[in-house]
Structure 1
């Protein structure tokens, strides 16, 4: 009987040893996944961000002024060139000024982005407006239809 109890105690201790190893393995996997999630959250933001986030990157910040109408177009160009930037509205002046802050080391990329942006803006201004062309053609179509109606009315009047 004593021998039987000893066997059961040994079997129980072996099972708990295996169980604790499995639990330890699962807990280590969970811990490592949590650490990885935190590391992913701590990565530096890219593209448009707040001025505070940009300053935290310790890269020296420069700024340029931009008009309100060009903000969205600039954002797409800056995204294309991978520029980290922050927009700030300076409301102290009568028409508010908009400033684009960027890392000083991104100055060359910003220069290239502005060249492309200004070329795109100039080509857009030189292209004729489709809406204006449609309005002109719409007026011409109305005139043609009015002339057709006059001709039809004259023909009907002659036939009577």
Structure 2
């Protein structure tokens, strides 16, 4: 209903607070938003095709970053705030360790090994039964 002086004062303060403090984006954002925050920006080149794993690691470390693809070379530029430098180094180290582990040859599955050895055991048991039927001594 009624518009009182206190309500008008509160609305004006709220409007002025929003106009003075523009929304600060966190995490993945555009290069324009990142540069517009007024802090220095650094960049790193990434040539990996799986950029989603980098995004999850950067999110884990709370790094504000922007991705830009270079279509000529097929690589990505990762821009981040200068104040996030240490966090970015840690995130990038974890990302590279993750990609190196992914490239390592897979260990054989325990279930596959178990199934293989079951088949070997069955074939050995069938061989002894066949030998007994012939009158030979088996194991």
Answer whether TM exceeds 0.5 for this pair. Answer: yes
2:118 & 2:33 partners in 1: Cα distance?
Answer: 56
Asked if residue 139 in structure 1 is aligned to residue 120 in structure 2, the reply is no
TM-score (norm: length of structure 2): 0.66
SS in structure 2 of the partner of residue 49 of structure 1: coil
Identify the structure with the greater helix proportion: 1
1:138 & 1:91 partners in 2: Cα distance?
Answer: 47
Task: Give 1:13's aligned residue.
Answer: none
Q: 1:88-122 CA distances to partner (integer Å, 9 max, x unpaired)?
A: 221112xx112211112322221222234444555
Where does the alignment leave 5 or more consecutive residues of structure 1 unmatched? 1-21
Task: Give 2:49's aligned residue.
Answer: 68
Task: Give 1:154's aligned residue.
Answer: 130
Q: 1:55-89 CA distances to partner (integer Å, 9 max, x unpaired)?
A: 211222221122123x2332222222221101122
- Against the structure 1 CA distance between its residues 101 and 126, is the aligned structure 2 distance closer, same or farther, given a 3 Å change threshold? closer
TM-score (norm: length of structure 1): 0.59
Q: RMSD of the alignment, in Å?
A: 3.9
- Against the structure 1 CA distance between its residues 136 and 89, is the aligned structure 2 distance closer, same or farther, given a 3 Å change threshold? farther
Select which of 12, 15, 23 maps to 1:43: 23
SS in structure 2 of the partner of residue 23 of structure 1: coil
Q: How does 1:103-114 map to 2 (within 5 A)?
A: 103-114=81-92
Q: Between Structure 1 and Structure 2, how many residues are aligned?
A: 132
- Against the structure 1 CA distance between its residues 134 and 29, is the aligned structure 2 distance closer, same or farther, given a 3 Å change threshold? farther
Q: CA deviation at 1:31?
A: 4.1
SS in structure 2 of the partner of residue 24 of structure 1: coil
1:62 & 1:142 partners in 2: Cα distance?
Answer: 58
